[in-house]
């Protein structure tokens, strides 16, 4: 394994860790769950999006389910949240940062996996977004919240940006590695800009509930 | 592609459009979602049932996921609902009508696909019902409603009727095309009769919550 | 089919029946559902865990979906709950007992199936727990409850115990049949001890909601 692969694996595991910690903390914040719940919800947040992607492209069993490192890191992140709990709140900005790293990586790698499996660009972009946002969506459904991605913040849109850029890069003759990093950085930047300026996706124009 | 196939494809896309519009309107009515939410929920309503069917029969990636026309129509229907919103309310009867067309077609084609994949009649009927009612079920779960199909109106029962007739027709030596159309019409008719007379599936006989 | 297989099949169908009755009764207790809802929720409770397992290990279509006996027993259990409803309450201890039988069998057989498909012990243990607890989790999500397994009682932990013992037994050179029965009995015992003494999985140590 060369240094590029090691770097990518390290980032991917860091993203998985951040997703698990963030997912478990969200579960602890919004629901009265026990250790089984925190572990389940953290792991679902970290791994769920990739599972849906792998089901849709018929790449079963899911890659991250078969790789014990992902299971271990996802369980570790969940248990950290379980035992430290509210004390992690002061780390919230750091966790949001790593969550954005995870979002960017999952959006890009999800899209690349779709393209590798021979899917069209539209399908691959959808897969990238599902990989990035699917786990948190299942977690929110399990703790009886309307999934955050459906109504607040900029989350799916940065993922869609990163995924679309990835599809364009692969379709063009651009040298792939640096440009794919660029796609991930664009996703990351838009996500963090959204967090910083509290940006939200457009609401329906004529919706009575908005008034 | 002969005229029969074009007619079927057209009806299927119309059903998909109606499911997407209806699904997105339901989402707008019951939850405060943004454009990502409306698009997601409309597409889930239109395509989700077929996705579950294709997972269960191991026909992955799902057919309608690979066909950009279905993705396009489902996204289009969702965006129409997003931009027109409450102004579509006056079209509600038309949308209910097309939704019933979608229900009928999805029930019949879902059953036929099950039979084509070698499944037994019971399994194929279940698949027909899942194809027809699965998408709306996932949408309702995502917006924190108990799925309508589980407690109100006649929705799964017309689908089960259409699916059962389809299984009987295929098992018998009846000429298939006109009789399959008959099965879809029976589903459609029962659904619209249910809407018109406000019929509901039986409630539990001794349930204390009913009193 | 020898007597061992018949005994296992009988127990498995009894477990399925108990899961369906229990699942349908839970649905009736917490949601105002009609016959479609009760049937759907009972069947989802009884069969859902095995479906997720079979999706994850790429054993599609799911085994219990293709075997009409499981569909029949699951539908039967749901309809018993629908028609007898509250009158079954006096049978609650019996149903809890059979539910624990189902839990134990599903945890063990789910783990064995994972191992048979070549998955590692960790993955197989997770599959055993999902087989045992997955159906009830989906049912709870569908009726708008936070899944019981995430916050109350001992349910996943006995399943994890039975699954772990099963994985250890298969990895060792122990004679498998009696020891696998032992694993199931350990799961069953811990579950019933938990019910009897009202034991719960640990809550987060510093959680403000607990105070």
Q: How many other CB atoms are there within 10 angstroms of residue C94's CB atom?
A: 12
Q: Under a CB-based contact definition with an 8 Å cutoff, are residues A123 and B66 in contact? A: yes
Q: What residue ranges do the domains of chain A occupy?
A: 3-199
Spatial neighbors of A175 by CB under 8 A, at least 6 apart, are none
CB B165 within 8 A of CB B186: yes
- pLDDT computed for residue B174 by the predictor: 72
| B207, B209, B211: best to mutate for the C interface, most C CBs within 10 A | B207
- C198 conformational bin, left if phi > 0, alpha if psi -120 to 50, beta if neither: left
Q: How far is B155 from chain C (nearest CA, A)?
A: 9
Residue A192 pLDDT grade (very low, low, confident, very high; cuts 50, 70, 90) = very high
Tell me the CA distances in angstroms from B73 to B3, B37, B41, one per residue in order.
Answer: 21, 17, 14
What is the least distance, in Å, from the CA of A112 to any CA of chain C?
Answer: 21
Q: Is A161 exposed, middle or buried, given 0-12, 13-18 or 19+ CB atoms closer than 10 A? A: buried
High-pLDDT (> 90) share of chain B, %: 68
CB-nearest partner of B147 from C32, C71, C142:
C142
Q: Rounded distance, CA C153 to CA C132, Å?
A: 15
pLDDT reported for residue B1: 59
- CB spacing of C205 vs A83 below 8 angstroms: yes
Closest approach of chain A CAs to the CA of B31, in angstroms? Answer: 8
> Which of C34, C82, C85 lies at the smallest CB-CB distance from B151?
C34
Which of A56, A154, A156, A204 to mutate to test binding with chain B, by most B CBs within 10 Å of its CB? A204
Q: Output the pLDDT for position A211.
A: 38
Write out pLDDT tens, residues B1-31.
Answer: 567 677 778 878 888 998 999 999 988 888 8
Other Cβ atoms within 10 Å of A182 Cβ, number: 16
Tens of pLDDT, residue by residue over C14-57, are 889 989 999 999 888 888 899 999 999 999 999 999 999 999 99
Among the residues of chain C, which ranges form H helices? Answer: 3-30, 35-56, 63-66, 68-84, 92-116, 121-142, 156-171, 176-197
Structure confidence at residue C115 (pLDDT): 93
Query: Quick count: other Cβ atoms within 10 Å of Cβ A210?
Result: 10
Task: State both tokens at C200.
Answer: 């719960």
How much of chain B is helix, strand and coil, in % rounded to 5?
A: 80, 0, 20
C3 touches B117 (CB < 8 A): no
What tokens appear for B7 in the block?
Answer: 């007619």
Instruction: Tell whether B85 lies on the interface with A, counting CB pairs under 8 A.
Output: yes
Interface contact C31, partner B, CB < 8 A: yes
Neighbours of C90 (CB within 10 A): 8
**CA–CA separation, A109 and C178 (whole Å):** 46
Average pLDDT, chain C: 90
> Which of A101, A207, A210, A107 lies closest to A167, judged by CA?
A107
Residues in chain A with CB shorter than 8 Å from the CB of B84 are 206
Enumerate neighbours of A (3 or more CB pairs within 8 A): B, C
Longest CA–CA span in chain A (Å) reads: 56
Q: Which segments within B49-185 are labelled E, that is strand?
A: none
Position B94 scores a pLDDT of 81
Residue reference for tokens 């191991």: B58
d(CA C152, CA C166): 25
Tell me: pLDDT of B209 over 90.
no
* C210 pLDDT above the threshold of 50: no
pLDDT score, position C1: 59
**How high is the pLDDT of residue B134?**
96
pLDDT of B42 higher than 80: yes
What chain C residue is nearest to A54 in terms of C-alpha separation? C56
Whether A210 shows a pLDDT value over 50: the answer reads no
| Tens of pLDDT, residues A100-127 | 998 999 999 999 999 999 999 999 999 9
Taking the CA atoms of A108, A43, B49 and B120 in sequence, report the sign of the dihedral they define: positive
Q: What is the mean pLDDT of chain B?
A: 90
> Does residue C211 carry a pLDDT above 70?
no
Q: Rounded to the nearest 10 degrees, how much is the dihedral formed by the CA atoms of B81, B83, B85, B88? A: -70
For the stretch A18-73, pLDDT in tens is 899 999 998 888 888 999 999 999 999 999 999 999 999 999 999 999 999 999 99
Q: Do B145 and C144 touch (CB under 8 A)?
A: yes
Q: How many contacts (CB atoms, under 8 Å) link A and B?
A: 89
| 3-state SS record for chain A | CCHHHHHHHHHHHHHHHHHHHHHHHHHHHHCCCCHHHHHHHHHHHHHHHHHHHHHHCCCCCCHHHHCHHHHHHHHHHHHHHHHHHHHHHHHHHHHHHHHHHHHHHHHHHHHHHHHHCCCCHHHHHHHHHHHHHHHHHHHHHHCCCCCHHHCCCCCHHHHHHHHHHHHHHHHCCCCHHHHHHHHHHHHHHHHHHHHHHCCCCCCCCCCHHHC
A146 vs C: CB within 8 A: no
pLDDT of residue A98: 80
Q: Which residue has the tokens 């996705």?
A: B51
Kindly state the average pLDDT of the residues C135-159.
Answer: 94
| Positive/negative CA dihedral, A63, A67, A71, A76 | negative
Give residues 51 to 70 of A whose Cβ lies within 8 Å of C.
51, 55, 60-62, 65-66, 68
pLDDT at A186: 96
Distance CA C139, CA A71 (A): 25
CA angle C54/A48/A203 to nearest 5° reads 130
Q: So what's the ipTM on this one? A: 0.91
Q: Residue C19's pLDDT is what?
A: 93
pLDDT digits 0-9 by tens, A157-170:
999 999 999 999 99
pLDDT of B143-189, one tens digit each? 999 999 999 889 999 999 999 999 999 998 776 778 888 999 999 99
pLDDT for res B210:
43
A171 and C CB contact within 8 Å: no
Neighbour-count burial of C177, counting CB atoms closer than 10 A to its CB (0-12 exposed, 13-18 middle, 19+ buried): exposed
The single-letter DSSP state of residue B153 is S
- The answer to whether residue A3 scores a pLDDT higher than 80 is no
């Amino acid at each position: 394994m060369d240094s590029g692969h090691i770097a990518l694996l390290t980032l991917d595991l860091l993203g998985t860790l951040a997703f698990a910690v963030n997912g478990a903390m969200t579960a602890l914040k919004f629901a009265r769950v026990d250790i089984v719940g925190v572990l389940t919800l953290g792991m679902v947040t970290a791994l769920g999006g990739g599972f849906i992607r792998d089901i849709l492209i018929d790449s079963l069993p899911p890659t991250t389910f078969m790789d014990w490192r992902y299971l271990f890191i996802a369980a570790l992140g969940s248990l950290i949240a379980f035992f430290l709990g509210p004390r992690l709140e002061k780390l919230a900005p750091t966790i949001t940062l790593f969550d954005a790293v995870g979002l960017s990586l999952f959006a890009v790698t999800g899209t690349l996996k779709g393209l590798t499996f021979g899917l069209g660009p539209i399908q691959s972009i959808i897969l990238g977004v599902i990989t990035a946002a699917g786990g948190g969506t299942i977690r929110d459904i399990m703790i009886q919240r309307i999934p955050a991605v459906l109504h607040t913040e900029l989350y799916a849109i940065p993922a869609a940006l990163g995924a679309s850029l990835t599809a364009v890069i692969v379709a063009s003759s651009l040298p792939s590695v640096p440009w794919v990093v660029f796609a991930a950085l664009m996703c990351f930047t838009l996500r963090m800009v959204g967090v910083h300026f509290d940006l939200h996706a457009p609401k329906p124009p004529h919706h009575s509930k908005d008034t």
